[in-house]
Structure 1
């Protein structure tokens, strides 16, 4: 009884200390960065705290702050060190996992880092961390160039590029992190560093997959690539369709320009299949997608020659209230694997009454996806070209959090068991960091790199400020 009373009292004291420290932090920031700090009910605060999945990132921040220079970020880290308040950094606000870009302390929004500077001479573009990929494409596509960026509208530049990043261009140019030339980084000790393979090779290694474990990135320099018209669009089917067609495409496709992204969907009580077709050129070779265009249960097909921007803007993913997600690494898809995916999707839609929507997304990426890898914290190599199969559940009730995560994990385990039996997965396969579910053991994200990354974080974060924020913590 005495122990219970003591622990309750201790918890109350710690909560009070945190509240006091956070209040002090907001006050100090308001004095140091006037006009850049916002409190609840203001328009800036509402905008800063807005997330794609509203319920999964519903923490009420004590205040928000919008730095506009790396020096501002350095000042913010100084305040965090002084007050030891919790904090988070938010870019596009599309992270799947709750608490990864939200906080009950100080929320740092990168929204003012909006520069986009294209250099056709060096085939690079400098991009502020507050941009969406939509902004970058709108700047570059009319100039005949593009970057290895996200595939759907509304996604921020930062998280995608720091954790991995699968793009419509990945089959030819690798992941997003493989295309970062340099980072402008503010470390937790308030150093402002331009990080490249030559200037800070240890940090350059760590930031390519290490996410927010080494500070706050305020801008990136990316490689650019040519971009003309594409042959692309969305094909839809009733029910969970195109199983054999998908397996055949994944097995036989040898054209790195050809890509298709099948998504099994449950939404509004209806089961359907969306196939996002993308050919990186104005015309696809005869027969490339005939099996999909002629498949049973087809309800619509808007695939045509168009600009990349037009295609990008046709893609819509509903915004969920709360989210549960996980991923299975699969080398290639066989019919038994796809059958297992369909079975688990039907099970989940039948038993999870609280579901807003369910998306199971398969990735028939060309086998050369990691040929452009030059290492990094995320251990992706051409020897093990694991492709992510993503399971996503959107739902409404906070009381369902544990059940939702358990249901998604159970479905993932069932699919992986079949994939292992088919010789297409492994228990120790590295997982895609952007899709991995909350609570995933870091050894499945970083493998043998984990000890080195922990040493690296201690070197650049001696005061352990990064323990006060969310994300995949080393």
Structure 2
């Protein structure tokens, strides 16, 4: 990892030597103006400063990082408002970065002014209201560590290394989702800086339209600096990771289908990853029970599969997450998705074939890793929240997020990898349709893992017109259009 960051630093500095010479836009002027209008605690960093490199870096540096004119690190929502108002009036391109785990190019990076939310890093558990205030600059690692001593938890990410803000603004599927719904369903308020610079608390009562829009609608309505989420008692949990040879995939497919169709205990969950690396397929089977021990029989079929390694035990939730490690990638990566309505051995065989085909084919184009994550959830997951949210527009039909993850190193093959991801998602969707999943054509795609050119209608469906109206009302000058992301 140190070598990777050293390489990135050297590459960035070499590029900047030429990129900044003869600069004619007003991004640099905006950088100097920001210093003048904000408090002394807000910092501005320029190329050459180690804090600049840390702030613009992403989990997938090659595809997600751009060279900004400066990094601005505000420390208060008021300063964020001053910055946003200035950038809007100057029409200066900008980016807002939380954890930096997104892979879509330009979504949280810019050649203009880069706003790092790193200083918004507090976690406050309020026992009286059973809620938690969470800063937008945190990783879920930090949140889980802070809540562990209190014996409570929130519906956060299912992997470490993921940022809080992007995850929550796009939806959020959690290990607790079977019990409590999507992560956005457990948010009770947002601290939001509007494009005008005004700081508000958006809740169901105070700003119902914005409260609806922020639940999946990303950064179209301003900059979120903090989230208030419901807190839940967190007991010890049982689970861990099993590594299985790809030759046993038919047994895995049968067990996953049976689990998804028959297990109704909402404390139980699994995540099955078909991985291709170094010329072969392996399967990572994660199992989870939100309690010290599961009832007999729930996981027996999965546990009986011959394995290369198995680490299943009772532990704290934090220890369970740490045992899974942090997902690593090479310099370039993408996520994409498809939304099946159920799991079957027929469909899982298609996923296995996709893993093998694209893993083999893309290896010759600097591909280093291909993964398909199968995530069965309880069929009633979307019924926990009766209030409309931007995502999903329709909660009456259960659907499940497949994750397609490709990693590679050579930028000259970028388009081939993006094309491969589109073709693979289409093939899985078509196979599901042929397998009897007629409604899959209308199932929404999960914004947090949708490829950058996914149409808004495919994610938000009938909610798109309402989201447009809310966007126009709060941002008539389209200030947030100066930043990346899925734009309304």
- TM-score by structure 2 length? 0.91
In structure 2, list runs of 5 or more residues that go unmatched: 1-19
C-alpha displacement of 1:171: 0.4
Give yes or no for the alignment of 1:280 onto 2:293. no
1:461 maps to which of 465, 475, 487: 475
100-109 or 262-271, which moves further after superposition? 262-271
Residue of structure 2 equivalent to 1:27: 32
SS, match of residue 51 in structure 2: helix
Q: CA RMSD in A?
A: 1.6
- SS of 2:442's partner is coil
Deviations 1:98-149 (A, max 9, x none): 1111111111011111121111121101111112111111121221110000
Q: Matched residues in 1 for 2:22 and 2:433: separation?
A: 49
Alignment check: 8 A CA contact 1:147 1:224 kept: yes
Q: Is the 8 A contact 2:240 2:288 kept in 1?
A: yes
SS in 2 for 1:107: strand
Give the stretch that moved more between structures: 218-227 or 414-423.
Answer: 414-423
Q: In 2, Cα distance between the equivalents of 1:17 and 1:78? A: 27
Deviation at 1:17, TM superposition (A): 11
1:168 paired residue number: 175
Q: Distance between the aligned counterparts of 2:184 and 2:21, measured in 1?
A: 41
Residue 440 (str. 1) matches residue 454 (str. 2)? yes
Contact 2:221–2:474 (CA under 8 A) maintained in structure 1: yes
Give per-residue Cα distances to partners, 1:17-55, cap 9 Å, x unaligned.
Answer: 984211111111122345600001202101111110010
Match of 2:51 among 22, 44, 47: 44
Pair 1:395-2:405 in alignment:
no
1:16, distance to aligned residue in structure 2 (A): 11
Partner deviation per Cα, 1:239-265 (whole Å, 9 max, x = no partner)? 262111111111111111111100011
Q: Name the structure 2 match of 1:423.
A: 436
What secondary structure, in the 3-state scheme, does the structure 2 residue paired with 1:61 have? coil
Query: SS in structure 1 opposite 2:453?
Result: coil
Match of 1:404 among 414, 417, 424: 417
| Mean Cα deviation higher: 205-214 or 139-148 | 139-148
Residue number in structure 2 paired with 1:325 = 335
Give the secondary structure class of the aligned counterpart of 2:229.
Answer: strand
Deviation, 1:342, is 0.6
Assess, with a 3 A threshold, how the Cα gap between structure 1 residues 57 and 366 changes in structure 2: closer, same or farther.
same
- Calculate the TM-score normalised by the size of structure 1: 0.94
Q: 2:257 aligns with which of 247, 265, 276?
A: 247
* Alpha-carbon distance in 2 for matches of 1:319, 1:170: 26
User: What is the CA distance between 1:325 and its match in structure 2?
Assistant: 2.3
Secondary structure at the aligned position of 1:219 is classed as strand
Instruction: Give the one of 202, 207, 214 matched to 2:209.
Output: 202
- 1:357 and 2:369 matched: yes
Q: Give 1:9's aligned residue.
A: none
1:146 matches 2:153: yes
SS class of match (2:448)? coil
2:192 alignment partner in structure 1 = 185
Q: Which residue of the other structure, out of 53, 64, 78, is the alignment partner of 2:60?
A: 53
CA distance in 2, matches of 1:310, 1:463: 47
56-65 or 380-389, which moves further after superposition? 380-389
Alignment-derived partner of residue 267 in structure 2: 257
Q: CA deviation at 1:319?
A: 2.1
Provide the residue aligned with 1:238 in structure 2: 245
CA contact (8 A) 1:370 1:380 kept: no
- Residues of 2 paired with 1:366 and 1:256: CA distance? 7
Measured against aligned partners, the alpha-carbon deviations of 1:65-118 in whole angstroms (never above 9, x if no partner) come to 111111110110122023211101000000121111111111101111112111
Q: Distance in 2 between matches of 1:165 and 1:268?
A: 31
Q: CA deviation at 1:300?
A: 0.7
Provide the residue aligned with 1:309 in structure 2.
Answer: 318
The Cα offsets for residues 271-306 of structure 1, whole Å up to 9 and x where unpaired, read as 21101110111001112212122113x101101111
1:346 aligns with 2:326: no
Tell me which residue corresponds to 1:472: 486
Q: Return 447-456 or 262-271, whichever deviates more.
A: 262-271
Whether the 8 Å contact between 1:330 and 1:419 is mirrored in structure 2 is: yes
**Secondary structure class of the residue paired with 1:370:** helix
* 1:268 aligned residue: 278
Kept in 2, the 8 Å contact 1:368–1:382? The answer is no
Give the equivalent residue in structure 2 for 1:299: 308
- Where 1:88 maps in the other structure, the secondary structure is strand
| 1:157 shift after superposition | 1.0
Give the C-alpha shift of residue 411 in structure 1. Answer: 1.0
Query: Would the aligned equivalents of 1:172 and 1:369 in 2 still touch at CA under 8 Å?
Result: yes
- In structure 2, how many angstroms separate the alpha carbons of the residues matched to 1:186 and 1:69? 10
Aligned counterpart for 2:398 among listed residues 385, 406, 410: 385
Distance in 2 separating the partners of 1:18 and 1:409: 37
